[in-house]
Structure 1
């Protein structure tokens, strides 16, 4: 039978892994190798995807992909209960102490790098294993940390604290050196092309078996390396331990137990990393085959034959020979092109691999994956004392019964998001915003009185009060709403709930041509479009990545909140303001769905990316992480307020105050701004707001959406004056337009960077403006027919 026919609670042994291409290779890298036992733990509320347990962790898979995997020995789960005995932590020698068999000390290649000379380190590991947390501890940086696979989507550099000569680069998480998605390519290219002096390989000690798969490939690179066993505090708390000394003897690299979140073991890790890098101490082991007989023997013979065949080519290409040999055996096309073998060598390679497949009964990719995981299993048997079921896992299972339950998942998600938006727009954020508005008004009145008493020039007085204070102050008053929204989004990400949302929503998103993994970037888009667009790098399919980027602008970012707040306060009763805002968000989502359906049947035909994702345990949000994200967003907002918005406000004031001859304009209609705005105002006349002041505000909104508010405030003087330009109905039409029209210049720059084309970015701007105009026109037309005008 096939894996998709398994029932919840049944075990099975994987027999063959079907499929082809990158997905099949990725499944093998994730541990789905022939002979592995898997248990079906859960089916998503809509019947697809499924959640499997294997090698001590949970993995999601679609039924269509599971149907390509054959299984046998199907039976009700009989996984032995984990040993609940508590084990004392095994002591680990400190820096400079001698090991029993310090094999890595004897692997000195090249000249010793003197102290003070620059050193480059790569921080590499699986997704969601704590790399960014460790990076922050090493460098004192404040990069955002989240409990979702793929939070880091670009490399980040920092100087190790106390060692100004050492720079460490935080790389995106990968499961192997056979790239599956674009952020994994960033990591592989850095390791192969930059040639760092050392690698800090961080491993999740609670899931050590799968994490060591990458470790083995990193060791094949022949770069000095230290292994950081992270989350050892959780392992100890649950009664497990790792024989660290034995592990480093068997691997031939230093192994340091740490807890990045609690800053435990970091100093020792740094000292070991500096030592192996300076003394060029490469891993003591790069051969993981059992050369005696059986499958491992066949793999051993194959790799060594290929190694001899391509050794001279690897030297010319600047690649480690062992690494290049294993990748050739796997069929890595990038390595094949880099080595540039001639026809005779290619034929010989083919014969060697054919013999491997004949001897093992497995194809080339499965044979390599089986060899690596067989070594890891033997290694863990000797060095890992597995704990009882962790408290974190027990808690996650209990919570998931509700949050991912068949009948409760969707109501819970809708309820959670409704609560977030209600608290943001109707309770906490709104109350704090009102308080800040009172403070800004009091400060403005004080400054106005002081300038009047001083007798300052009226033009300068107008610049300060009507320009800077009115424009920047009107935007600053919405800072609490934005901070509150990011506070809740950060909690959802830190707890691990976003990964579950992707699991629950996959089936729904597949109907519009996307994967459940696309849901998370779009959810981030409610906060800010720039990180949302960058987060699409976690999608392995170029089709899905581009579709998600094009849909992100439909998710109303927090920069539009000041516009919504200003108009709802001016035209709607307090009880209606929160529902109107929530309605705008829902309307944006609906337009995004319609646009996705159009893309699905036109430009982006085909199937969405496979849904293969690890589900992390729920964790309590880190106060430091949440506070850090809030501070970052508040700082970014304030920087924008006192730079882009400040300049835009002064420019608008100038253009409004003077006429074409640079005399003070007698009336606003004779100003430079009126002249410029009147050129495009006719475009908006069919929408019900053809005034030049409105068109001017929309133009400035391209620099930053908050500038719409500051511009209107400068031009009108107060929110009350909005009634001279809008009726409640045309205000709704205007809100629909601002909801959908072009993203800000920073988001457009992110689109250009991710799509690699200025033409594509310009297309996004024009298309969003066209969609916004059409939807606003439809709303205006329908409203007119219904008699709202």
Structure 2
């Protein structure tokens, strides 16, 4: 017999701390995906409360159950079809009056509900005092107070979930009244909906659908099963408007706000010693029109400094680990047996995948820092500060949120543009997001910057790369909004949550999710690409090395050369032979053909060859360089890839490599999502062409100016 699973939905406004409560209840027993057919994130998790198995669904942050946004649509569909047994309505205690509007709508679902007044400590610091017994009476739901980041109240929350789950007839929330005429209309439509005997009404009461029909909700009114009721619903809407002078939607909202205002007046009191909020004091500085942008740029610089300084140590450990692993395999492998498979394992897989995995600490530290800034509430301020600045470039203020996501990965960032109402602004944002320096480019920077720039310049160089991406993106947005997507911008309203200290648990969960994603990518796409790259780097295999081969044979047979000199000569000649093999291979030939076009921007055939694999995933660029610069003999293998790169290129060339990788055609996953979101191959190919022209043009200018002025010709110490 299958165990009964109690399904609990967490619902609340954005920034109410709902996800913190979700993490506290589920821990690591959760998984993340997208709702079918839409790009809104779906989080589910499980927990055990004594003998009760609970599945928790973290609904998107919403302000109401209308259909005005993708988040609200998917939240309603989850509640309608998800067989939810109970709702945890998470409320920001500091903004209870605003948060409770959603509560009045959730009450109409007639599901057992618990009001979770979260961040109660913040509210008390503001001098707010609550009578939760009155709140419970007004809304017909028990109240639990919590402080999500510290775990306060979580045990009580578990207890009440368990108690309600075992009650034969758990209490139902109180439904608002909407006035005589409206209540009459609700009763009439409710009866008609019951007569339809729809399966939806077995879980959600017919009254709820009647209210939605009276509110002219697009999601409900478009459902074919209610088509026969639309004329009657329209008649009731007209009757309500005639009687009250307001349309039914506005009237019902007014009644809800009236219920909320009355409850808050009775149950919330403000003490006389309310002092100005710390958040307001900080915001006077960080959102200042003059200081806001410099502070944001400084914060990003500090993030990159933290990434490099702290990340260097675990990077060195991982590099040493993979080096020791390669040396160990070479040492135990039987000499002369299955040489191709030995080289595939050592040079292809360890050199390729291992060369990418060494940068995992940098990626985790970067996203830990960003998660910390998001948790404190600062990133919302960054979006607010950048809004006015972005309007100078013709962008909608909401575009900054997907652009911020672009620092992680372009794919979810592009999907997040669906929250932008203006089609022109949405398409413009999609076109420029891949200019934002995504996490896949971080291994490229983490490889090249320490190789060519001293420690004191490393954070600055990383900061410069990110700033270049933002500047180029904004300039292209201005051009697109002046030509292809010309049109007026829209007003941007941004909620600024109070500053809070994020929980270590939530930050670690986000780091864990990022690590799993990166390791999955390294174990699938990058592993496959590394094997393919090794094969095209190996075949066709050159066997005749002319004078170099003859010289090597002579040195090996020599009995007069001193041992040290003979060993150095053999190593040098083996290196020349390896280079000839690589040039003769398929990758070498492709790289040479491409280098004809790329040599004016400072790229040789090896860099040109690595760029081919980068289209699959940007990290593959590092994997390909790791294969191309792998050395067989034991002495040279002690040299790291960074040392080999420093011997082959100048800092100017290194900067141009990073610049081109930043601005060139995005990875194939991004191209695919652009095609899906724009529904246009023309725009997709236009974007690829635009990125190619911008990358080549700006890299050409940077390289030629550098050569002309003699900049970057030596290591910056």
With normalisation by structure 1, the TM-score equals: 0.73
Please list, as runs of the form range in 1=range in 2, the aligned pairs for 1:583-622 lying within 5 A after superposition: 583-622=464-503
- d(CA) in 1 for partners of 2:622, 2:192: 68
SS in 1 for 2:617: coil
Selected match of 2:618 from 675, 680, 705 = 705
Cα-to-partner distance string for 1:118-140 (whole Å, 9 max, x where unaligned): 44332221112122122223322
2:67–2:73 CA contact under 8 A, matched in 1: yes
Distance across 2 between alignment mates of 1:138 and 1:503? 32
Deviating more after overlay: 369-378 vs 320-329: 320-329
Given the alignment of the two structures, is residue 226 of structure 1 paired with residue 114 of structure 2, yes or no?
A: yes
Cα drift, residue 354 of structure 1: 3.8
**1:421 corresponds to which of 286, 304, 323:** 304
Q: Distance in 2 between matches of 1:607 and 1:720?
A: 52
What is the correspondence of 1:424-439 to structure 2 with a 5 Å cutoff?
424-425=307-308, 427-429=309-311, 431-432=312-313, 435-436=316-317, 439=320
State the partner residue of 2:662. Answer: 739
Report the alpha carbon displacement of residue 220 of structure 1 after superposing the two structures with TM: 1.1
- Aligned 8 A contact 1:181 1:541 in 2: no
Task: State the match for 2:143 in structure 1.
Answer: 255
Task: Tell me the number of residue pairs that the alignment of Structure 1 and Structure 2 aligns.
Answer: 660
CA deviation string 1:234-262 (max 9, x = no partner): 44566655443443333233433334333
Residues 115 and 129 of structure 1: is their aligned pair in 2 closer, same or farther, counting only changes over 3 Å?
Answer: farther
What is the rounded CA distance, in whole Å, between the counterparts of 1:215 and 1:542 in structure 2? 32
User: How many Å apart are 1:178 and its aligned residue?
Assistant: 0.9
Q: TM-score, normalised by structure 2?
A: 0.79
Are 1:740 and 1:772, in contact at CA under 8 Å, matched by a contact in 2? yes
- Structure-2 change in CA distance of 1:753 and 1:191 (3 Å): farther
Q: Contact (CA 8 Å) 1:474, 1:710: kept in 2 or not?
A: yes
Match of residue 130, structure 1, among 17, 24, 32: 17
Note if contact 1:313-1:339 (Cα within 8 Å) is conserved in structure 2: no
Cα distance change of structure 1 residues 223 and 285 upon mapping to structure 2, 3 Å threshold? closer
Residue 177 (1) aligns with residue 100 (2): no
Q: Please, which moves more after superposition, 213-222 or 161-170?
A: 161-170
Query: In 1, distance between residues paired with 2:5 and 2:448?
Result: 56
Paired residues of 1:177 and 1:188 also in contact (CA < 8 A): yes
Counterpart residue number, 1:467: 348
In structure 2, what is the Cα distance between the partners aligned to 1:284 and 1:719? 65
Q: How does 1:375-386 map to 2 (within 5 A)?
A: 375-386=259-270
The answer to whether the aligner puts 1:656 opposite 2:537 as a matched pair is yes
Structure 2 residues not aligned, in runs of 5+? 33-38, 545-576, 631-640
State the alpha-carbon separation in 1 of the partners of residues 184 and 518 from structure 2.
60
Alignment partner of 1:154 is 2:37? no
Aligned position for 1:186: 74
Aligned with 2:359 (options 458, 470, 478): 478
| Pairwise CA distance, 1:396 | 0.6
| Distance (whole Å) between structure 2 residues aligned to residue 265 and residue 578 of structure 1 | 42
Superposed, 1:335-346 pairs within 5 Å as: 335-338=220-223
Structure with the bigger RCO (C-alpha within 8 Å, sep 6+) is 1
The within-5 A match list for 1:604-753 is 604-659=485-540, 667-677=581-591, 680-689=594-603, 691=605, 693-717=606-630, 718-722=641-645, 726-748=649-671, 751=674
1:235–1:387 contact (8 Å) kept in structure 2: no
- Asked if 1:582 is matched to 2:496, the reply is no
Work out the CA distance in 1 between the residues paired with 2:268 and 2:461.
56
* C-alpha spacing 1:132/1:750, structure 2 compared with 1 (3 Å): farther
Which residue of 1 is the match for residue 550 of structure 2? Answer: none
Q: Distance in 2 between matches of 1:339 and 1:383?
A: 43
**Larger proportion of helix:** 2
Q: What per-residue deviation string (whole Å, max 9, x for no partner) do you get for residues 333-360 of structure 1?
A: 33223267779x7565445434433444
Q: CA deviation at 1:283?
A: 6.1
CA distance in 1, matches of 2:52, 2:162: 12
Distance 1:285 1:450, change over 3 A: closer
Instruction: Please state how far the C-alpha of 1:322 moved relative to its aligned partner.
Output: 2.3
2:659 corresponds to 1:776: no
Alpha-carbon contact 2:29-2:46 (below 8 Å) kept: no
The 1:365/1:785 distance shift into structure 2, 3 A limit, reads farther
Contact 1:204 1:229 (8 Å CA) reproduced: yes
Q: 2:96 aligns with which of 208, 215, 228?
A: 208
Q: Secondary structure at the match of 2:14?
A: coil
